[in-house]
Structure 1
Amino acid sequence: MHKFKELEIWKKSRLYCSKIYSETAIFPLEEKFGLTNQLRRASVSIASNIAEGSSRSSNKDFSRFLEIAIGSAYEVETQLLISNDLGFLNEDKVVELTNELNEIIKMISRFRSTLKLNDV
Structure 2
Amino acid sequence: MTVLKMAIDMADDVHTLTRNFPKEEIFSLTSQMKRAVDSISLNIAEGSTGQSDTEQARFLGYAQRSALEVVNCLYLAIKRKYISQQNFDKFYSSLEILVIKIQSFQKFY
- Aligned residue pairs total 109
- Cα distance in 1 between the residues matched to 2:108 and 2:54: 11
Q: Could you tell me which of 5, 11, 18 is aligned with 1:11?
A: 5
The TM-score normalised by the length of structure 1 is: 0.88
Q: Which of 48, 54, 60 is the equivalent residue of 1:54?
A: 48
Structure with higher Rg: it is 1
Q: CA deviation at 1:100?
A: 0.2
2:26 corresponds to: 32
Distance in 2 between residues matched to 1:79 and 1:31, nearest whole Å = 12
The aligned counterpart of 1:107 is 101
Deviating above 2 A after TM superposition, structure 1's stretches of 4 or more consecutive aligned residues are none
Secondary structure in structure 2 of the residue aligned to 1:27? coil
Normalised to the residue count of structure 2, the TM-score between the two structures is 0.96
Q: What are the ranges of 5 or more consecutive residues in structure 1 without an aligned counterpart? A: 1-6, 116-120
**What's the secondary structure of 1:114's corresponding residue?**
coil
Q: Give CA-to-partner distance per residue, 1:31-68, whole Å, 9 cap, x none.
A: 11110000000000000000011114201100000001
Residue 43 in structure 1 maps to residue 17 in structure 2:
no
Deviations 1:2-47 (A, max 9, x none): xxxxx81101000000000000000011111110000000000000
Q: Give me the CA root mean square deviation.
A: 1.1
Alignment of 1:95 with 2:97, yes or no, is no
Select which of 63, 68, 91 maps to 2:62. 68
The Cα of 1:114 is off from its aligned counterpart by 1.7
Secondary structure, counterpart of 1:55 in structure 2: coil
